[in-house]
Amino acid sequence: MHREFLMGNEAMAVGALAAGVDVVAGYPGTPSTEVLETVARRNPGHVYVEWSVNEKAGLEVAAGAAYAGARSLVTMKQVGLNVASDPLMSLSYVGVKGGMVVLVADDPGPISSQTEQDTRTFAAYAKLPLLDPSDPQEAYEMMGEAFELSEELGCPVIVRPTTRVDHGSADVLVADEGDWARRTPEGFVRDPGRWVIFPALSVRAHAAIEARDAELSRRLSSYARNAVRQTAGPDARPRLGVATHGISATYVDEALREGDDVRVLRVATPYPFPDDLAERFLDGLDEVLCVEELDPVIERALIATCGRRGLHVTIRGKLTGDIQPSGENTVESVSEALDRFLGRKPAGSSPRAVPHEPEAPVAPPCEEDCLSTEKNPPAPPQLPVRPPVLCAGCPHRASFYAVKRAMRGRKAVFCGDIGCYTLGNAAPLDMVDTCLCMGAGINIAQGVTRVEPDTAAFAFVGDSTFFASGITGVVNAFYNQANMTLVVLDNSTTAMTGHQPHPGTGRTMMGQVVERVSIERVLLAIGLRVVETVDPLDLDAAVATVRRVAEEPGVKAIVFRSPCVVLARPQARSTVDAERCVGCLRCVRELGCPALVPDAATGKVAIDAAQCTGCTLCEQLCPTHAISGGERP
Amino acid sequence: MSAREKDRAAAGSGGGATSTSIVLAGVGGQGTILASKLLARAAMARGLQVRTAETIGMAQRGGSVVSHVRIGDGASSPLVGPGRADALIAFEPAEAARQLSYLRSGGTLVTSDAPVVPVSAATGGPAYDLPAVMAYLRASVAPERLVVVDAAAAARGLGTTRALNVVLLGAAARAGAIGLTADDLAAAVRDVVAPRFVDLDLAALATRWDRPIAP
DSSP one-letter string for A112-133? SSS----HHHHHHHHT--EE--
Residue of B nearest to A352 (CA): B82
**Which residues contact residue A65 at a Cβ distance below 8 angstroms, ignoring those fewer than 6 apart?**
A22, A23, A48, A72, A98, A100, A185
How confident is the model over A531-566, as pLDDT tens digits?
999 999 999 999 999 999 999 999 999 999 999 998
Would the CB atoms of A330 and B49 count as touching at under 8 Å? no
Chain A residue with CA closest to B36: the answer is A169
Residue B135 included in any domain: yes
Residues of B in contact with A359 (CB under 8 A): 59, 63-64
Helix ranges, A283-424 (H) = 297-309, 331-342, 395-406
Question: Average pLDDT, stretch A258-267?
Answer: 96
Nearest Cα neighbor of A74 from A86, A57, A92 is A57
Closest to A482 measured CA to CA, from A385, A568, A413:
A413
Instruction: Name which of B75, B82, B88, B77 is nearest B22 in CA terms.
Output: B88
Domain span at residue B8? 2-117+125-161+176-210
Instruction: Please tell me the distance from the alpha carbon of residue A62 to that of residue A44, in angstroms, as a whole number.
Output: 19
Q: Return the closest-CA partner of residue B1 out of B205, B175, B147, B180.
A: B175
| Nearest CA-CA distance, residue B202 and chain A, Å | 21
**What is the band of B209 on the pLDDT scale with cuts at 50, 70, 90?**
confident
- Is the pLDDT at A193 greater than 60? The verdict is yes
Beta strands A314-316 and A287-291: pairing type? parallel
Q: Using CA atoms, how far apart are residues A248 and A108, in angstroms rounded to an integer?
A: 11
Across the A:B interface, residue pairs with CB atoms under 8 Å apart total 227
- C-alpha torsion angle, residues A114, A115, A116, A120 (rounded to 10): -120
Residue A598: helix, strand or coil by DSSP? strand
Q: If pLDDT is split at 50, 70 and 90, which confidence band does A191 have?
A: very high
Average pLDDT, chain A: 94
Residue A132 has pLDDT above 50, yes or no: yes
**CATH placement of domain A2-219:** 3.40.50.970
C-alpha closest to that of A530 among A517, A512, A548: A548
Partner residues linked to B95 by β-bridges: none
Question: What gap in Å lies between CA B43 and CA B20, rounded to an integer?
Answer: 10
How far, rounded to the nearest angstrom, does the alpha carbon of residue A240 sit from its chain's CA centroid?
A: 36
> Does residue B167 lie in a domain region?
no
Q: What is the pLDDT of residue B74?
A: 75
Q: Cβ separation of B83 and A382 shorter than 8 Å?
A: no
pTM: 0.93
Residue A509: alpha-carbon gap to chain centroid: 20
Asked whether residue B23 is domain-assigned, the answer is yes
How near does any CA of chain B get to the CA of A163, in Å?
Answer: 9
At residue B19 the predicted structure's pLDDT band, cuts being 50, 70 and 90, is confident
CA angle A383, A385, A386 (to 5 degrees): 125
The set of residues, in sequence order, having a beta carbon less than 8 Å from that of A75 and lying 6+ positions away, is A24, A25, A26, A27, A32, A33, A35, A36, A58, A103, A105
Spell B18-44 as b/e; 16+ CB within 10 A means b. Answer: ebbbbbbbbbbbbbbbbbbbbbbbbbb
* φ/ψ of residue A41, rounded to 5: -70, -35
Comparing CA positions, the residue from B61, B127, B100, B128 lying closest to residue A387 is B61
**pLDDT of A632:** 82
Is pLDDT above 60 for A510?
Answer: yes
Q: What angle do CA B148, A356, A244 make, to 5 degrees?
A: 115
For residue A3, the chain B residues in CB contact (below 8 A) are 44
Residue A610: what pLDDT? 84
Best residue in B64, B164, B191 for a mutation probing chain A (most A CBs within 10 Å): B64
* Residue pair A108/A116 in contact by the 8 Å Cβ criterion: yes
User: What single-letter DSSP state applies at residue A297?
Assistant: H
CATH code of A395-561, in short, is: 3.40.50.970
Q: How far is A590 from chain B (nearest CA, A)?
A: 9
Domain with CATH 3.30.70.20 in chain A: 575-628
Comparing CA positions, the residue from A104, A95, A96, A40 lying closest to residue A70 is A96
Pick from B37, B56, B66: CB nearest A361:
B66
Q: Give chain B's radius of gyration (CA, Å).
A: 16
Q: Where are the alpha helices (DSSP H) in A68-198?
A: 78-94, 119-126, 136-153, 163-166, 192-195
Other beta carbons within 10 angstroms of residue A216's beta carbon come to: 21
Predicted confidence (pLDDT) at residue B11 exceeds the cutoff of 60? no
- Candidates A124, A12, A390; CA nearest to B60 is A390
- Which residue ranges does chain A devote to CATH 3.40.50.920? 227-353
Contact at CB, A349 and B56, closer than 8 angstroms: no
A479-493, B9-23, B65-79, B92-106: segment of lowest average pLDDT? B9-23
Residue A2 pLDDT > 60, yes or no? yes
Alpha-carbon span A333 to A339, nearest angstrom: 10
CA distances from B176 to A54, B4, B16, B147, B171 (A): 49, 7, 18, 11, 9
H-state helical runs in chain B: 2-11, 32-45, 93-98, 119-122, 130-140, 151-158, 164-174, 182-192, 195-206
Average pLDDT, chain B: 88
The CA-atom distances, in angstroms, between A259 and each of A236, A240, A282 are 12, 13, 21
Q: How far is CA A355 from the centre of its chain?
A: 19
In the three-class reduction of DSSP (H, G, I as helix; E, B as strand; rest coil), residue A30 is classed as coil
Residue A182 has pLDDT above 80, yes or no: yes
Of B77, B122, B140, the CB nearest to A372: B140
What's the pLDDT tens digit per position in A386-412?
989 999 999 999 999 999 999 999 999
pLDDT at B73: 85
Q: Which residues of B touch A385 (CB under 8 A)?
A: 118, 120, 125-126
Return d(Cα A460, Cα A488) in angstroms, integer: 6
Q: Which residues of A touch B98 (CB under 8 A)?
A: 360, 362-363, 383
Q: Which residues of A519-533 are buried (b: 16+ CB within 10 A; e: fewer)?
A: bbebbeebebebbee
CATH no. of A227-353: 3.40.50.920
Q: Which amino acid is at B149?
A: V
Rounded CA gap, A533 and A561, in Å? 7
**pLDDT band with cut points at 50, 70 and 90 for residue B72:** very high
Tell me the torsion sign for CA atoms A197, A203, A208, A210: positive
CA distance A317 to A202: 37
Tell me, what's the pLDDT at B60?
A: 76
Dihedral class, residue A423 (left if φ above 0, else alpha if ψ from -120 to 50, else beta):
alpha
Q: Is A414 exposed, middle or buried (CB count within 10 Å of its CB: 0-12, 13-18, 19+)? A: buried
Residue A217 above 90 pLDDT? yes
Q: How far is B44 from chain A (nearest CA, A)?
A: 7
Q: Percent of chain B at pLDDT above 70?
A: 90
Where does the pLDDT of residue A376 fall: very low under 50, low under 70, confident under 90, or very high at 90 and above? low
Quote the number of domains for chain B. Answer: 1
- CB count in 10 Å sphere of residue A289: 25
Query: Which residues in chain A have Cβ-Cβ distances shorter than 8 Å to B121?
Result: 384
CA distances from B200 to A502, B45, B143, B155 (A): 35, 22, 29, 11
Confidence of residue A436 (pLDDT cuts 50, 70, 90): very high
Helix H segments across B23-109? 32-45, 93-98
Contacts of B146 in chain A (CB under 8 A): none
Q: Does the structural domain A575-628 have CATH classification 3.40.50.150?
A: no
Q: What is the DSSP letter of B60?
A: G
C-alpha distances (whole Å) from A187 to each of A65, A66, A180, A197 are 9, 9, 21, 20
Q: What is the CB neighbour count within 10 angstroms for residue A409?
A: 5
Whether A354 and A362 have beta carbons less than 8 Å apart is answered as: yes
Distance from CA of B211 to the nearest CA of A (A): 22
Other beta carbons less than 10 A from residue A346's beta carbon: 14
Element (H, E) at A444: helix A440-451
- Please report, for the domain that includes residue B98, its CATH number: 3.40.920.10
What is d(CA A266, CA A245) in angstroms, rounded to the nearest whole number?
A: 5
**What is the structure's pLDDT at B161?**
86
CA–CA min distance B97, chain A (Å):
7
Given a contact cutoff of 8 angstroms between Cβ atoms, the answer to whether A183 and A71 are in contact is: yes
How far A42 CA lies from chain B's nearest CA (Å)? 16
Chain B residues near residue A618 by CB distance under 8 angstroms: none
| Contact yes or no for A30 and B56 at CB 8 A | yes
Burial per residue of A392-404, b for 16 or more beta-carbon CB atoms within 10 angstroms, e otherwise: bbbbbbbbbbbbb
Burial of A255 (0-12, 13-18, 19+ CB in 10 A): buried
Which residue in A380, A388, A594 is closest to B58 by CB distance?
Answer: A388
Q: Are B4 and B176 in contact (CB under 8 A)?
A: yes
**Closest partner CB to B98 (pick from A164, A169, A383):** A383
Identify the bridge partners of residue A487 per DSSP, sorted by sequence position.
A460, A558
State the smallest CA–CA distance between residue A4 and chain B in angstroms. 9
pLDDT value at residue A522: 98
- A133 within 8 A of A189, measured Cβ to Cβ: no
Q: Which of B44, B63, B141 sits opposite A386 (nearest CB)?
A: B63
pLDDT tens-digit profile of A489-505? Answer: 999 999 999 999 999 99
For residue A592, give the nearest of B41, B50, B119 by CB distance.
Answer: B119
Interface touch B81/A428, C-beta < 8 Å: no
Out of B54, B65, B100, closest to residue A363 by CB:
B100
